[in-house]
Amino acid sequence: MRALIIGHDHASLPGLIGERLAERGFELDTINVVPPERYHAPGVHFDFPSPHGYDLVVPLGSPWSVDDHAAIGSWVGGELALLREAHDLDVPVLGICFGAQALATALGGAVERAPYPEIGWMTVESDAPELVPAGPWFQTHYDRFVVPPGAEELARSAAGPQAFRTGRSLGVQFHPEITEATLRIWLDLGLSDQARGLGLDPDELMDRTRELREEARRRAHALVDAFLDRVARPPAATGAVPTASDAG
């Protein structure tokens, strides 16, 4: 089985999500849209592959907004087209933060500014805790998605929707993939200044991430398992995707 991992920049890493997908038998095919030297000028040319031939697509987070056409208008349309094609081909998508916003936009929803940013470990209100537990989940976003037509909102916070399901795909606003190493990169790239601007201590964010290390791993792995077993699995399938028990 092959999973297409869409990293939008060098700091977009699959982390705990990629770890569990590999344990579940997926070969990870990772692409990186914006190279490190263009991080501050992300308007690059990028040819997205077709999702045809993949068993799963995972668009990760991004420091940019889906609707920031001045910055990423050169490539975001190609990603939205890929996600629409995946939907048409019935290829499951697990969208994370920017990836969830892109999936929502591709399918007729939208992205808009949240009433306030969310940064740090936060719980969410979940209608489907067996699929999307309440958390805590790591958040870092200023935007929120508008759930696309026909999709089911599964979780939310006071700042907006946090998860939705559409067909065999799932979008989550939070970052289940986060690790201490990834957070350190984000802090060094500007998240420290953003956190301080909101009255947060970057060192406390790192300490909390370290404290939740094993709990976060278990929760992220459980999210992947529930997604594969409850959402991505075709209704009539009997062996298309290994179950968690198969993977050990």
Q: What is the pLDDT of residues 3-24, one digit of tens each?
A: 999 999 999 999 999 999 999 9
Nearest to 121 by CA among 225, 12, 196, 211: 211
Q: Supply the pTM of this predicted model.
A: 0.93
Kindly tell me if the per-residue pLDDT of 237 is higher than 60: no
Catalytic residue among 79, 87, 141, 177: 177
From the CA atom positions of the chain, what is the Rg in Å?
17
Kindly tell me if the per-residue pLDDT of 238 is higher than 50: no
The mean pLDDT value of the chain amounts to: 94
Is 97 annotated in the active site?
yes
Kindly tell me if the per-residue pLDDT of 161 is higher than 70: yes
| pLDDT tens per residue across span 162-195 | 999 999 999 999 999 999 999 999 999 999 999 9
| pLDDT tens per residue across span 143-154 | 999 999 999 999
Distance CA 135, CA 172 (A): 12
Please tell me whether residue 32 adopts helix, strand or coil conformation: strand
Whole-number percent of the chain with pLDDT over 90: 94
DSSP class per residue in 149-204: TT-EEEEEETTEEEEEEETTEEEESS-TT--HHHHHHHIIIIIHHHHHHTT--HHH
Catalytic residue among 97, 118, 141, 221: 97
Is 175 annotated in the active site?
yes
| pLDDT tens per residue across span 77-120 | 999 999 999 999 999 999 999 999 999 999 999 999 999 999 99
Catalytic residue among 8, 141, 175, 221: 175
DSSP-derived letter for residue 178 is -
Q: Check residue 234 and give its pLDDT.
A: 78
Confidence of residue 241 (pLDDT cuts 50, 70, 90): low
Confidence of residue 157 (pLDDT cuts 50, 70, 90): very high
| pLDDT tens per residue across span 198-212 | 999 999 999 999 999
Q: Check residue 84 and give its pLDDT.
A: 98
- Residues 62 and 9 sit within 8 Å (Cβ to Cβ): yes
Confidence of residue 244 (pLDDT cuts 50, 70, 90): low
Kindly tell me if the per-residue pLDDT of 247 is higher than 70: no
Q: Check residue 187 and give its pLDDT.
A: 97
What's the full length of the chain, in residues? 248
